Amino acid sequence: MPWQQLLSAQTRLPATDLDAWYASLLERTTQPTPIQLAVLGGRLAATPGLAFLAGYQGALRALWPAAPWTLGALCATENRSVRPADMHTRIKALSLDGRKDFVTAAEAADWLLVCAREEAPGEPVRLALGVVRNGAPGVRIEVLPALPLMPDISHGRLHLQDAHCERLAGDGWDDYVKPFRTLEDTHVLAALTAWLLGVGQDSAWPQALQLRLLGLLAGCTEMARQCPGAAESHLLLAGLFAQFDSLRAELDAALATGDAHWLQLWQRDKGLLSLAASARGKRLEQAQAVLGLSL
């Protein structure tokens, strides 16, 4: 992690359209690692939503290191579920058919990782991951209305009809969708912590609070080196979120005494870190059982 770049004075990138913002971010760094992309993007973001976008893109690159440097998205959800048995999207002979109901940064995403079923009738559910390009034949994005949470980050529905794809090696669930949950949690937490640290630096927050945020960033950087499927990793990640949760009251108090703009943005978007809390809790319970720990 280039800590000097993080800690030095930075001018935030203007909140333009997502393509332009992400291109400007990449101009500030050279071939960053996924966690560097998340942290620097969070520090340079004008909003928590843009910080999330940087963390999300970092997680995608951690998942698929060969990913293009353009914006991408992982498409798994169908009818509010990511359970393999609930999916209807199919891949056959490098062709995808179906629908995915939630695509992050929908109209700006250049490439899409699509989780699809590939088992024959009567066989157990088996998933593959295919890559398609936004706007290619048979690939259509339906942009949906903005959500109250992170309204500056668009989302949409993906429609696939005989869309040609590249099939990535490995199992779609075990090698991609399942580990992405942990990768996304890690990189988004890092990006939002970097955003808060930037606000704290600009707002002259108490030194002790800024140092605790910096320590949390160091923990996220170490977490990013771990195997996302290991029980130990789920325990470490739970520790990082517990550390962040312990700062919430202090963060709210610091934000309340400064520029109202930062407080309004944080009050609007801070709930995004709670979206996957239930899933993280289940992974923690499973990790404790595997490791024989009672915390």
Ordered by where they begin, the domains of the chain are 3-63+178-291 (no CATH), 72-167 (2.40.110.10)
State the amino acid at position 67 in one-letter form: A
pLDDT in tens, the chain (295 residues): 678 777 787 889 998 899 999 999 999 988 899 999 999 999 999 999 999 999 999 999 999 999 999 999 999 999 999 999 999 999 999 999 999 999 999 889 999 999 999 999 899 999 999 999 999 999 999 999 999 999 999 999 999 999 999 999 999 999 999 999 999 999 999 999 999 999 999 999 999 999 999 999 999 999 999 999 999 999 999 999 999 999 999 999 999 999 999 999 999 999 999 888 888 999 989 999 898 887 7
Residue in 117, 119, 122, 118 with CA at minimum distance from that of residue 84? 117
Angstrom CA distances, 38 to 101, 115, 133, 233, stand at 25, 24, 23, 19
**What is the rounded CA–CA span in Å between residue 51 and residue 286?**
30
Return the residue matching tokens 């629908």.
99
Q: Let me know how many helices (H) and strands (E) the chain has, helices first.
A: 10, 8
Q: Quote the pLDDT of residue 113.
A: 98
The alpha carbons of the chain give a radius of gyration, in whole angstroms, of: 19
Q: What is the pLDDT of residue 5?
A: 78
Specify whether the CB–CB gap between 223 and 188 falls below 8 A. Answer: no
Report field, pTM of the whole predicted structure over 0.85: yes
Query: What does the alpha-carbon distance between residue 39 and residue 62 come to, in Å, rounded to a whole number?
Result: 14
Element (H, E) at 227: none
By CB neighbour count within 10 A (0-12 exposed, 13-18 middle, 19+ buried), where does 62 fall? buried
Find out whether 55 and 38 touch, Cβ atoms under 8 Å: yes
What pLDDT is attached to residue 1? 62
The token pair that represents 85 in the structure block: 């048995």
Q: Amino acid identity of 255?
A: L
Distance from C-alpha of 200 to C-alpha of 219, rounded to nearest angstrom:
19
